Chains A and B, each alone.
Chain A
Amino acid sequence: MTPILEVKNIHKNYANHVALRDVSLVVEPKKIFGLLGPNGAGKTSLIRIINQITGPDSGEVLFNGERLAPKHVDFIGYLPEERGLYKKMSVGEQVMYLAQLKGLKKDDAKIKLQNWFKKFEIENWWDKKIEELSKGMQQKVQFIVTVLHEPKLLILDEPFSGFDPINAQLIKNEILELREKGATIIFSTHNMGSVEELCDHIALINKSEKLLDGSVKEIRKNYKSNIYHITFKGNLMGFTNALWAGAELLDKKSDDDVHSVTVKLLRQNKPNDLLQAVLNHAEILSFQEVVPSMNDIFISVVENKTELNTQSTFTE
């Protein structure tokens, strides 16, 4: 299957700094692709290049196998992080205008809009001015504007900011539904919880360079470091002695004779070896592998760039 988007060795310099250094990405169709990175990492620069708002200094972008060209603009929907609408214009006029700018025919746009307005139960907003709406309401309108022309590629930069939890859930469901219908979504965010929940694949950019790229499952698996969480009843001392040299105790918490510990397996030891070692000293209540959250991975990758740079090679 041709990837919907291929970014090849993009370089982008601004007057005083490098925004992107040799960044390459492949976005498979019908996936939710998370584009992560701290502020100022170069995400927005990359997104603007994909949207043809700016051009790269070198490298190229392929859309559906073709070199990115102005005609592709109509197949992309973009919700920028810094977004807004004309305050004095009515909701209806405004969305019609923006829809037509994306190449929709007037009648077509009207029907589609009415469907969306019905879906979001905001039919009575048509004649309201944007400035009369609350921030969250404006965001809803903005979301509709972004997806109305049924783009093949949807680029959402922090889509949940400004939404309350209920509306955030609504938007989340819409995003998943759009994927079901065949859209590919590039999703840029700092909210790692939503990354785990939504993304199939992620790329992490820091200081103009891509540091990490892979499927969410794979990355989390790769970042596991043989850490287990054990809850047991019995003697903590005996338990610790039993670990001996096979595992290292990282953390412990006790409540009467129930203890919670976090241990890291050393050398080639398997979880079963650990269990066998401690079985005679304690009554095991629970035993669980600790998988690092995306949040942990994000922080550790960004903070220990050099160390993990070497590790991340395996994902490529």
Chain B
Amino acid sequence: MNKLLLIIQREYFSRVKKKSFLLMTILGPLLMAGVMIVPVWLAMRDKTEHQVFVLDHSGLFIDKIPNTKEIKFTYGVGTIDSAKAKLKNGPFDMVMEIDIEAINNDKTTPHLYYKKEPGISTQQYISNTMENILFDYRLQGDSIDVGKIERARRPVEVKTIKVSEDGFEKKTSAETNMIVGFSLAVAIYMMIFLYGAQVMRGVIEEKTNRIVEVIVSSVKPFQLMLGKIIGVAMVGLTQFVLWIILTFAISTFVTGVLFKDQIADKIKQEQQISKVMKDDITSHSDKMEKVKTPNEAIDVLDNLSKIDVSHVILVFAFYFLLGYLLYAALFAAIGSAVDSEADTQQFMIPVTAPLIISFAIAQGVASDPDSGLAQFFSIFPLTSPIVMMVRLPFGVPTWELALSMVMLVVGFLFFTWLAGKIYRTGILMYGKKTTWKELGKWLFYKG
């Protein structure tokens, strides 16, 4: 059997069989699913119900504030003291007093007395609804046709359409492109750091175990390094695939099974609210905003489908793998040059600097994807895996992409060759602390 294959096999299975791998594989999706589910859950969990006794001296708001699932309004008359007394014995946990001048004042300030602290959402609900009621009332008072106002206020949204060289038109959205680009860049960054560091630790382990000399008497040091890099890459890919599958499975399960009732409730409730709103003869700007939100979400999805997905996935896969391979080789070289993980710092900083720089300029690249800066860093092999991902959804000229890919392959070959030279000498050096000068000398030792 091919010796390289044997090494890859060992590197792969020795890691996949570890308990920590299993733990990470399970914890990762749980965390990710958690990030996705917790906000939903928070929004959906049964809120405490508020019973509000409204003492409206102005009379404008009586029976006008719609009840929701959480807040029920009861209207009454009397003095504020008698109303406050209801907090003690009655079913009410809040009393709201609206003063008589509420209609005419520049600023209306109802007072809310409470037993149980109302959340921000409750306060916002009350102020929004009252604002709307006031708005309609005043317009009517000035004999202004609300319908005219409604027609006058229309949202404006810039739709961007990319015209490619062959005249093909494509709707784009800078926001969506940025989200996609950054997500891809972060995935590559994670792969490089998580698994590149594993390669480095593996090399240090072999060195401190002193098994390395036994192994390099059977295989070439370069084979051992390559086997380790490829083996760990496969571990990384396995973990990524498992993460995606598990995250998807968990979130589908949780949202589908556990929150089934809540989701149904929520939908019903939203329908109710919009019905209440529609029943309101008058319409207002706030409503428009509410209606706009789902549209925006649909827009993002719509724009996602505008991106050439198969192209993006293929290019991503290329940069994901080669970016990792290039950096893993450098990490292996670092591992070979030191005796323990604590000593890696001095070499880590220069090696990881290009990655950090990539992220530092990513924002600028996204805002001007065809600038000279973006072009340079998306072609330079040490930064291209990150920067090209940021540019990719905006569309990159074919020749630039091709050049960048070729450069990355060349860079990969060059740095792997360089790393191989350092690795070969480094794994057999013990004791003294390695300096940059020595690393340089190692490059010229004869194999």
Which residues does A use to contact B, with CB under 8 Å?
14-15, 48, 51-57, 70, 73-74, 76, 78, 80, 82-89, 97-98, 100-102, 106, 142, 145
Contact = CB atoms under 8 A, between A and B. Distances in A.
Nearest to A79: B214
A142 B210 CA distance: 12
A304 B214 CA distance: 35
B135 to A, nearest CB: 70
Contacts of A78: 213-214, 217
Given A15-B441, A73-B218, A83 B213 contact: yes
Given A100-B1, A101-B219, A83 B211 contact: yes
Contact of B211 (A76, A85, A100): A85
B216 interface: yes
Majority-rule SS of A interface residues: loop
Nearest to A149: B218
A86 B209 contact: yes
A53 B211 contact: no
B14 A82 contact: no
Contacts of A100: 1, 6
Interface string B60-84: 0000000000000000000000000
A73 B217 contact: yes
Nearest to B209: A84
A80 B218 contact: no
A101 B209 contact: no
B215 interface: yes
A7 B350 CA distance: 42
A151 to B, nearest CB: 10
B169 to A, nearest CB: 58
A271 to B, nearest CB: 50
A134 B227 CA distance: 30
A53 B214 contact: no
B214 A145 contact: yes
B438 interface: yes
Nearest to B14: A89
B214 A97 contact: no
A55 B446 contact: yes
A53 B213 contact: yes
B216 A57 contact: no
Contacts of A80: 210, 213-214, 217
Given A55-B447, A78-B213, A89-B14, 12 more contacts: A15-B438, A15-B441, A48-B428, A73-B217, A76-B217, A82-B213, A86-B205, A97-B6, A97-B10, A98-B214, A106-B1, A142-B214
Nearest to A83: B210
Given A48-B428, A97-B10, A101-B219, A85 B213 contact: no
